[in-house]
Amino acid sequence: AQSVSQHNHHVILSEAASLELGCNYSYGGTVNLFWYVQYPGQHLQLLLKYFSGDPLVKGIKGFEAEFIKSKFSFNLRKPSVQWSDTAEYFCAVTPYTGRRALTFGSGTRLQVQP
């Protein structure tokens, strides 16, 4: 079974700092990769996704993620965070074939200080 690891559980940054959140997965086959975000009091929302092609994918609100197959990683980045980016971020993976459901990481709580 696949699993997802997010090693940063709680990250505190000042506004304008750069962000990188780590995500590693374990699965031997082809995968689809996602980052979801949960703003305080809101639903989970899809931030960005990778299915195939260019390993650098861009999502909403200036976020991007890079898929590095050799490292089984899909790290999330943003050059300059804002206070409004304060949220919990979840990495998720699903195999290319099979069950239509996601395996989530444990999440990273990002706190951006003004």
Partner 1 sequence: NAGVTQTPKFQVLKTGQSMTLQCAQDMNHEYMSWYRQDPGMGLRLIHYSVGAGITDQGEVPNGYNVSRSTTEDFPLRLLSAAPSQTSVYFCASSSHVAPFEQYFGPGTRLTVT
Binding-site ranges for partner 1 (CB under 8 A): 4, 6, 9, 32, 34, 42-46, 49, 90, 94, 99-107
Q: What is the DSSP letter of 53?
A: S
Question: Toward partner 1, which CB reaches closer, 9 or 70?
Answer: 9
Question: Toward partner 1, which CB reaches closer, 42 or 70?
Answer: 42
Q: How far is the CB of 42 from partner 1 (least distance, A)?
A: 8
Q: How far is the CB of 102 from partner 1 (least distance, A)?
A: 7
Burial state string for 30-64 with b = 16 or more CB within 10 A and e = fewer than 16? ebebbbbbeeeeeeeeebbebeeeeeebebeeebb
Question: Toward partner 1, which CB reaches closer, 19 or 90?
Answer: 90
Name every residue whose Cβ is closer than 8 Å to that of residue 80 and which is 6 or more positions away in sequence: 15, 16, 17, 18, 62
Q: How far is the CB of 64 from partner 1 (least distance, A)?
A: 18
Helix (H) / strand (E) containing 6: none
Name every residue whose Cβ is closer than 8 Å to that of residue 28 and which is 6 or more positions away in sequence: none
Question: Toward partner 1, which CB reaches closer, 81 or 92?
Answer: 92
Q: How far is the CB of 77 from partner 1 (least distance, A)?
A: 20
